[in-house]
Structure 1
Amino acid sequence: MDRRTFLAGGLAGTALAACQRDNEPRIVQSSRRPMVGRRTLRADVVVYGATPAGIVAAVSAAQMGASAIIVGGWRERQPGGMLSGGLSWTDYRDIDAFGGLARAVIERLAAAGGMPRNRYAFDPALAVPLFERMTTSAGVPMVWSDGVEDVKLVDRRISEFFLQSGRIVRGRMFIDASYEGDLMARAGVAFKVGREAADAANPLNGYRGAKNGHLVRGGRPDEDSIAPISPFWNGEGGALLPHVAAAPDLPLGAADKAVQAYCFRLTMTNRPDLRQDLPARAPDGYDESRYELLFRDLDARRRKGRIYGRDWTFARDLVKADEVAPGIYDVNNRALMSIDAVGLSHDYPQADYATREKIWKAHEAYLRGWFHAMAYGRDPRIPPGLQREVREWGLVRGRHIHPHPNDLPGWSPQLYVREARRLDNGLNWSGRDLSDVDGAEPRRKGIVAMGSYWQDSHSTRRIAVQDGAGRWGICNEGSIMLRTGGKYERSPLPMDLMLPHRDQCTNLIVPFCVAATHQAFATIRMELTSMALGEAAGRAAAMALGEDNVRDVQDVPIPGLQAALVANKGVIHGVSAFEDYRRRLKFRLNRMLGG
């Protein structure tokens, strides 16, 4: 047993216990120090991406005695990715599927004032200071960058990579925790973008068209999968409305390059004492005609007899507004034309940084225009009450006050990149792998984390379609919302999800852009799950560091890694027979007591 395998049990075993002091995640400072020079950065473990997965990975490596450094992704200026950028209504089904640092982080964030409907909701303003304390206490510096320009490999090992600024980053082990997988891609590691073809293990993969375009809940389609709104400006077969595309010439289930829609998870309030009003002046480039579909949707509600204020409201029906702290809401997508910029994300994963910047700002322009159209638009189909309600909502004052140079203060600094590249190592962890868990052996051994959420994919396209009677309508194609994980909604995730082919790279681990199909990634992409994988990645990277030689990360002893994770209260298994009995007993008692 080498030194770091020994440390895996010793240091990790006490990591969560120390959270009892102010509920703070346990940090054991590294015995080695990274080198941060003007031009060169160096550490044992280099983490690219200051996402939650990246922060947990770096801290976990430092806990085990490795020096670690975090190099921010191409546009990051603060730690925490989506958790500090606005995603604060935590998505999970079984919270006990998560332990270790992931559980400690989310509990610490929620401890300052979680909400009764979701005790793991939190004010996103807490995320940056928490992650800064974690990394500072662990001796892990964070350096912001403008993206990876090139990667140098020697005998299938990354020796260093170059940032666009010209700085050099050297290390012995590397972790790509970015949402985009840029380090992975520039190292020549194989990846996929888009949806694989549907098959028996992934029946919801591929192009789904109108017949499969409905929202799926428990395998049962909703009736209204096609909105009965004309997709054309005038008549049939003419010009399509903005934000509506022609259906692609693909058979159902065919592979394509479409990825989930992106948005910004805005932190908003309707409390005047907290509110930073959205501008009454139209944003640059605003064209009200781009929101014709929105106006038609509002008019369709009226024609159906649905009255604004009685049957529907902005905060309940046009967005999903979840209260995460008193008067503070995490605002997410909902409805036919909501805050998802459907169709704008497809070119983002592989775009160069200049093109990505344009796509990023196009998402922002869409969303700023969407709010302005409802609050100040002149179209008579906008209910006056809706305009009054939308004007009561704004950003939360005092947030995101040190933005990226291309951004304005107050706006979320993180585009919600729900899906970009995915590692391609032949594993193709599938929808079936996530679901066949009750008493079944996983297809791969070496489980290092659990997922616990729906297979949840947002739409990929908004298309013009015809129903069975030949009537034209509009369909948000590609949505999935399907229960997964078996009886207790836990899905096993093996270490192999994060490892490139050995013949491509032997010192890289990828905890976010994992080797899953589009359908399976819809579950694994959740931040709790990515933090659990990040902890496994950080501990595995430290264990790969010998005193003299660095072993291939593919050769890290999985039993030792699992022992380190379990010692830190990590969860790597489904529900035990005893836990099953305890849960069933609790359920029966609640029924007897009327709970």
Structure 2
Amino acid sequence: MLFLLVAVYCHSLSAQKNYKADVIIYGGTSAAITAAVQVKRMNHSVIIVSPDKHLGGLSSGGLGFTDSGDKTVIGGLSKNFYERLYRHYQKTEAWKWEKKEDFGNKGQGTVALDSQTGSMWLFEPSVAEAVFKDFIRENEITVHRDQWLLRKPEGLKKEKGKIKSFQTLSGNTYKGKIFIDATYEGDLMALAGVSYTVGREANSLYDEKWNGVQKDVKHHRHYFKTQVDPYVVPGDATSGLLPEISGQPPGENGEGDDRIQAYCFRLCMSNHPENRVPFPKPQNYNPSRYELMKRVFETGWNELFEKFDMLPNRKTDTNNHGPFSSDYIGKNYDYPEASYERRADIIEDHKQYQMGLLYFLQNDPSVPQLMHDQIQEWGLAKDEFIDTENWPSQLYIREARRMVSDFVMTEGHTLSERPVIRPIGMGSYSLDSHNAQRYVTEEGFVQNEGDIGVHPKKPYSIDYGSIIPKAEESQNLLVPVCLSASHTAFGSIRMEPVFMILGESAATAAILSIKNKSSVQDLPFELLRAELEADGQILEKK
């Protein structure tokens, strides 16, 4: 995002234009694409207004190792996306850097190339983006890229509880009957005056167990298994803390706070000698920034390559793993509400941190020899993210704003302990949150906090009420990404297949509301349900 801002501000005022469509979608995520396709399938006009240059969000931004849970509940356009990927990888020419028969074909507990359902669950970023481009081309969808919402009161017009139009920094105005905020940040939702929250709720608010502060919870392996000293001079608190450790108290278990789970870039690496470029040395590289990594190695930790998840053509979706990894813990708290300029700084800071970590691992003499030798085989994939020097253009915004509506999806709904009356799609992945802070324990050692992973007993339905605001706040806005959910419930819902499902359902509700001449809140649910089922959406587990 940061490299687009200069261009935005340089737009000439003479380029200002007015645009109009039945549905205006703000965002370039996977949910935005499926929403736009559905609008066109229902024979209405749509414009995608995207601040991003590339379409597809994380689905084309490096997250090719699909977090999907029970894949049998993925239907509609979301399922079609994975079917198109499967067809691509049936072609001989799709396998440039390895043979199809040499591909491991395993991921997330099931086969990657799933011949029974005709779906592909592990894929290269460039292939995913090509599929999204096909969706756009085949449906003749109008997309305005590099258009950033004017996040000031004059940037949005609203009359009698309905959004009439919004404006972008370039001066363009977009007028519609229904609006869909499909961004990871929820900027349009916020500008429209819709209630939202940021951070973790107290467990007491929604009668939950896994919300708020979660000290000593060890659901994954992203914590310090042994005692590691946090101070510059071991044992001397007066010497100060090492980099990347907070001096703030962690809070008490179950308490709410404004901390959010960590972000990172999902890197696409390659170990093919002809398709890799060296990890670049970042500006102002300082190896002392990674002293805590040295101390982790000294404990005997040897899981460095645990989340180098293989994609086709000897590439990876490399994710965070362990007590000190690619997650930049505690450095994103202000991102959801920040200005574009501040967000750009945060994104660049994440890039410098993660780039520096990779350079450290390949070059620092403190790295154990076996791991040092193995990491030399890796580099950034040369044929991915070509216009951003092989680095993903999309930071993994795991969580930002979350709407607060009349209906809130909570832990109880995702664990099938509370009923969902108006189902518009299903989720099934674990209630998954990455660490939100790294702190010093009462005993004087470093520890991470916030990482949870609670598995639902079965797939669960997501209620229509979670994607519509309170009627008094907006009657023609749908929010399929920053939906109304608690922190723990969002931890499961926030998966890309689910966002695509909810994007399609939001678009269906938008068109039916137009046809029915009703607000999105007053749309008869049985009309919506019938249309969703006819389109192959899976609403409940039979």
Q: Same fold (TM over 0.5)?
A: yes
Match of 2:115 in 1: none
| Aligned pairs for 1:218-237 within 5 A | 227-234=226-233, 235-237=235-237
Distance 1:40 1:300 in 2: 61
Distance 1:223 1:502 in 2: 41
1:395 CA drift (Å): 1.1
User: 356, 360, 364: which is aligned to 2:347?
Assistant: 360
Amino acid at match of 1:62: K
Match of 2:449 in 1: 477
Aligned residues: CA RMSD: 1.9
Q: Residue 203 in 1 paired to residue 209 in 2? A: yes
Q: Residue 134 in 1 paired to residue 135 in 2? A: yes
Amino acid at match of 1:144: R
Q: Which moved more, 1:234-243 or 1:334-343?
A: 234-243
Distance 1:223 1:537 in 2: 35
1:573 CA drift (Å): 0.5
Match of 2:536 in 1: 569
- Provide the TM-score with structure 1 as the length reference: 0.80
| Aligned pairs for 1:314-329 within 5 A | 314-316=304-306, 320-329=307-316
Q: Is the 8 A contact 1:270 1:393 kept in 2?
A: yes
Summarize deviations over 1:502-531 as a string: whole Å, max 9, x none.
Answer: 001000000000100001000000011111
1:169 CA drift (Å): 1.2
User: 304, 317, 330: which is aligned to 1:330?
Assistant: 317
User: 491, 503, 521: which is aligned to 1:522?
Assistant: 491
Distance 1:444 1:326 in 2: 42
User: 384, 395, 402: which is aligned to 2:380?
Assistant: 395
Distance 1:346 1:226 in 2: 26
| Aligned pairs for 1:136-535 within 5 A | 136-149=137-150, 150-199=155-204, 201-209=207-215, 211=216, 214-216=217-219, 227-234=226-233, 235-238=235-238, 239-248=240-249, 250-279=251-280, 282-301=281-300, 312=302, 314-316=304-306, 320-377=307-364, 380-402=365-387, 408-436=388-416, 442-466=418-442, 470=443, 472-484=444-456, 486=457, 489-535=458-504
Summarize deviations over 1:323-371 as a string: whole Å, max 9, x none.
Answer: 1203111100101111111111111000010000000000000000000
Amino acid at match of 1:139: E
| Aligned pairs for 1:78-157 within 5 A | 78-113=54-89, 116-118=105-107, 119=112, 120-149=121-150, 150-157=155-162
1:448 CA drift (Å): 0.6
Summarize deviations over 1:8-47 as a string: whole Å, max 9, x none.
Answer: xxxxxxxxxxxxxxxxxxxxxxxxxxxxx96122211011
Q: Is the 8 A contact 2:223 2:323 kept in 1?
A: no
1:427 CA drift (Å): 2.3
Q: Quick one: percent identity of the two aligned structures?
A: 33
Gaps of 5+ in 2: 1-14, 90-102, 113-120
1:201 CA drift (Å): 3.3
Q: 1:479 to 1:492 in 2, by over 3 A?
A: same
Q: 1:491 to 1:444 in 2, by over 3 A?
A: closer
- Provide the TM-score with structure 2 as the length reference: 0.88
Q: Is the 8 A contact 1:227 1:475 kept in 2?
A: no
Q: Which moved more, 1:104-113 or 1:389-398?
A: 104-113
1:461 CA drift (Å): 0.6
Q: Residue 67 in 1 paired to residue 45 in 2? A: yes
Describe the SS at the equivalent of 2:241. Answer: coil
Describe the SS at the equivalent of 1:347. Answer: coil
Describe the SS at the equivalent of 2:332. Answer: coil
Summarize deviations over 1:218-251 as a string: whole Å, max 9, x none.
Answer: xxxx897654100111224231110011242632
Q: Is the 8 A contact 2:213 2:250 kept in 1?
A: no
Distance 1:392 1:313 in 2: 16
Distance 2:87 2:434 in 1: 30
Describe the SS at the equivalent of 2:289. Answer: helix
Describe the SS at the equivalent of 1:44. Answer: strand
Q: 1:367 to 1:224 in 2, by over 3 A?
A: closer
Summarize deviations over 1:251-284 as a string: whole Å, max 9, x none.
Answer: 22111101110000011111112112223xx311
Distance 2:78 2:39 in 1: 14
1:410 CA drift (Å): 1.0
Amino acid at match of 1:464: V
Q: Is the 8 A contact 2:147 2:169 kept in 1?
A: yes
Distance 2:21 2:226 in 1: 54
Describe the SS at the equivalent of 1:315. Answer: coil
Describe the SS at the equivalent of 1:170. Answer: strand
Gaps of 5+ in 1: 1-36, 307-311, 403-407, 577-595
Q: Is the 8 A contact 1:314 1:390 kept in 2?
A: no
Match of 2:12 in 1: none
1:389 CA drift (Å): 2.1
Q: Residue 551 in 1 paired to residue 518 in 2? A: yes
Describe the SS at the equivalent of 2:20. Answer: strand
1:313 CA drift (Å): 5.6
Q: 1:550 to 1:38 in 2, by over 3 A?
A: farther
Amino acid at match of 1:315: F
Distance 2:193 2:540 in 1: 33
Q: Is the 8 A contact 2:76 2:501 kept in 1?
A: yes
Summarize deviations over 1:154-196 as a string: whole Å, max 9, x none.
Answer: 1111111011111111111000000000000011111100000
Q: Is the 8 A contact 2:49 2:147 kept in 1?
A: no
Amino acid at match of 1:419: E
Distance 2:47 2:464 in 1: 22
Distance 1:478 1:249 in 2: 10
Q: Is the 8 A contact 2:276 2:379 kept in 1?
A: yes
1:116 CA drift (Å): 1.8
Amino acid at match of 2:351: E
Summarize deviations over 1:125-164 as a string: whole Å, max 9, x none.
Answer: 1112211111122121111134211211111111110111
Give the total of aligned pairs: 496
Distance 1:116 1:264 in 2: 24
Distance 1:121 1:42 in 2: 38
Distance 1:420 1:537 in 2: 20
Q: Which moved more, 1:472-481 or 1:353-362?
A: 472-481
